[in-house]
Amino acid sequence: MLGRRLHQATVAVSTGRPRGVGEPLNHPIVLASNIRGEAGEYSRTHGTATWLGLEEAVGALEGGRAISFSSGMAAASGALFALSPKVLVLPTDSYLGVRALVADHVQQGHLRTRAVDIADTDAVVAALDGADVVWIETPTNPTLDVADVPRICAAATAQGVRVVVDSTFATPIYAQPLSDGATIVIHSGTKFIGGHSDLLIGLAVTTDDAMYDRLHQARLVNGSTPGALEAFLALRGVRTLPLRMERAQANAMKLVTRLRAHEAVATVRYPGFGAMVAFELKGGAAAADAACRAVKLIVPATSLGGVETTMERRQKYAGDAHVPPGLIRISVGIEHIDDIWDDLADAFGGTP
């Protein structure tokens, strides 16, 4: 646009907009399934201006071409469809929805898996031999483990193994895995990209034109298209993504310091960036459940990435039975940090 590389904050604001003289500043909500003309255009096949604006903006932030889907799980499904692996290396600690998706493929005989600790880079590299795809989630949900994406991508490329990176927690603000050699980056745009807990949408991004076509085909034949309103809201969310992440990360860092000093807290997990924090109370599952019931400002909820702070004890879900019983995952919002902390400390009881 200006003949030089723009900062992410500028990219988030300036891309994915109409450019013609007399056009609106923002893409409108295109509420049309059918399109007048003789070329056979149809929204499921060709998309709408609202989708395309969102895809342009997220693609620019990630450094690739984006395809939008109806949800983050639809994007994950689209990536598996596009890659069609026979042997998949998968993190043991990762989003339970993706693990359930992969388990279903395994049960149907479509693929085999090799489970790895994604933070153990040597183990990941060792598991690549004979694999087709390695699935990286970083930071992981809910344990917040961090993968060495550059090293894993380098090893995978050397062996002809393609790489998917679920970068939902990192967002394009703190990581751009395509530049490290990833084949596909996926996002649950429901979370930080949308940022207001009011939509479901997913995105997959790639620099490979053939893979882009495969992802487009996945969306087309599976019918996993985004809604018009959802695409509009997600693109609006992109505009403030850098600003929201800056505030949420600043809050998270302060919260981590206070959690580590609190007498009721046993352990704290934080990758050093982003808005996700996990911690355990000394009283285990009972204390964690009591804290989640006691908060008044913080929202006890399972989703995350909104402007509001949310928290929950994760081991209560069957898919997360392997995580520590008292682990609380908290998505830090943009409220004032003192208000977040006061609510949390009150919920812990005892000395703040």
Q: Indicate which residues carry an active-site annotation.
A: 44, 95, 166, 191
Q: Which of these, 58, 51, 34, lies nearest to 228 by C-alpha position?
A: 51
Q: Give the integer Cα–Cα distance in Å for 244 and 88.
A: 34
Buried (b) or exposed (e) across 194-225, using 16+ Cβ within 10 A? bbebebbbbbbbbbbeebbebbbebbbeeebb
Q: Residue 181: left (phi > 0), alpha (psi -120 to 50), or beta? A: left
Q: Are 82 and 224 in contact (CB under 8 A)?
A: no
Q: Three-state DSSP class for 66?
A: strand
> For 233, how many CA atoms within 13 A lie in the half-sphere containing its CB?
19
Looking at the DSSP assignment, which residues form a beta bridge with residue 280? 267, 327
First to last CA, the chain: 51
- Tokens matching residue 305: 């990435």
